[in-house]
A = this chain, B = another copy of it.
């Protein structure tokens, strides 16, 4: 990976660990020579880290990579340190012993991400069009060509990227970050520390129509979408994801919800706290999903369902009925070489008759 910090700005290992909150580190085992307390300029994978980078190992199956890593320091599980400590050969790199290496790695990466930021200049770009009735906190940054509608309220330290369009009466909480080209329809409320990626569209009309034969045979009359969209704190929303406003009630994303790119959340949905969805998921309207669920990529959830807490849906699965029991749920057609698939798929259309034929044989054999 690219070295992130110049050597003169990079911390030593002990300085770095002091800056990381959380008491995750059990102990540190110094490396050899210059790597006793090395200067850490960045983070890298075992295979690719340079000699001024820190890395991590989460499973013994990567011990081979550990043996050849160039990293000057490695976060290790206690059981791996046990093995290393009795290694016949000396270990060059420093080891940081930790029961949750991935979490510690995440926090160290967060620190580097923060450290490489330039000092922020708080400002509204002169080309931004901000309605005079909007209430903008003193530390907000608004990028070029952003448009902020009437009566918006944007709180301290929020950042609005270039080309964002924010409708009337929108509220954006403190320290929230809108990347460029986000669109927010009128009346949407977003909590603190949100991260919204480019191309996301929040609060567009839900898909609501009533058959209206008075217009034409088969024609649809639009049902205005009069609800709004409420988003809690610490929510992240991926690029080009869309979350629609409610029809009568509000669509709701609770605290800590994480949505990847290209996701669609229909009107009136309620997504529980800390539920995470991978890319390309679709949730149809009026469905309630519980807290701490994970929805795998390209899964779809039908409308008007209730999914409980702690439900885990595999990628590519179509959830078409309520799920109350926590656990993992799957429904994916296995892939295979095309010719094999053709043979087996043909039988799929005869399953019902196959079962009948089997029943006939069973009855025969019982007699």
A interface, CB within 8 angstroms of B = 1-2, 4, 21-22, 42-45, 48, 100, 102-103, 105-107, 109-110, 112-113, 125, 127, 129, 143-145, 147, 161-163, 165, 167, 179-181, 183, 185, 195, 197-199, 201, 204-205, 207-212, 214-224, 226-228, 234, 236, 238-240, 242, 244, 246, 248-249, 255-256, 258, 260-262, 264, 266, 273-274, 276, 278-280, 282, 284, 291-292, 297-298, 300, 302-303, 313-321, 327-338, 340-352, 354-355, 357-358, 361-362, 364-365
B residues within 8 A CB of A264?
Answer: 260-262, 279-280, 297
Is A242 in contact with B261, judged by CB distance below 8 angstroms? yes
**Majority DSSP secondary structure for residues of A touching B:** loop
A167 to chain B, nearest CB (A): 8
A275 closest partner in B (C-beta): B218
Can you add 9 more A-B contacts, CB < 8 Å, to A147-B163, A220-B274, A298-B318?
A129-B144, A147-B180, A219-B256, A239-B244, A244-B261, A280-B280, A329-B338, A331-B333, A333-B345
Is B1 in contact with A239, judged by CB distance below 8 angstroms? no
Question: A280–B264 Cα gap in the complex (Å)?
Answer: 7
Residue in contact with A242 in the complex, picked from B240, B319, B364, CB distance below 8 Å: B240
B residues within 8 A CB of A222?
Answer: 106, 110, 195, 236
Question: A14–B122 Cα gap in the complex (Å)?
Answer: 54
B residues within 8 A CB of A354?
Answer: 347, 354-355, 358
B residues within 8 A CB of A282?
Answer: 262, 279-280, 297-298
User: Residue among A44, A236, A349 with the most chain B CB within 10 A?
Assistant: A349
Question: A242–B276 Cα gap in the complex (Å)?
Answer: 19
Residue in contact with A297 in the complex, picked from B113, B198, B300, CB distance below 8 Å: B300
Question: A1–B163 Cα gap in the complex (Å)?
Answer: 31
A66 to chain B, nearest CB (A): 16
Question: A238–B244 Cα gap in the complex (Å)?
Answer: 10
Is A261 in contact with B315, judged by CB distance below 8 angstroms? no
Known: A199-B183, A318-B316, A361-B365. A220 touches B262 (CB 8 A): no
A319 to chain B, nearest CB (A): 6
Is A334 in contact with B349, judged by CB distance below 8 angstroms? yes
Known: A338-B314, A348-B334, A358-B357. A218 touches B327 (CB 8 A): no
Question: A327–B262 Cα gap in the complex (Å)?
Answer: 29
B residues within 8 A CB of A361?
Answer: 358, 361-362, 365
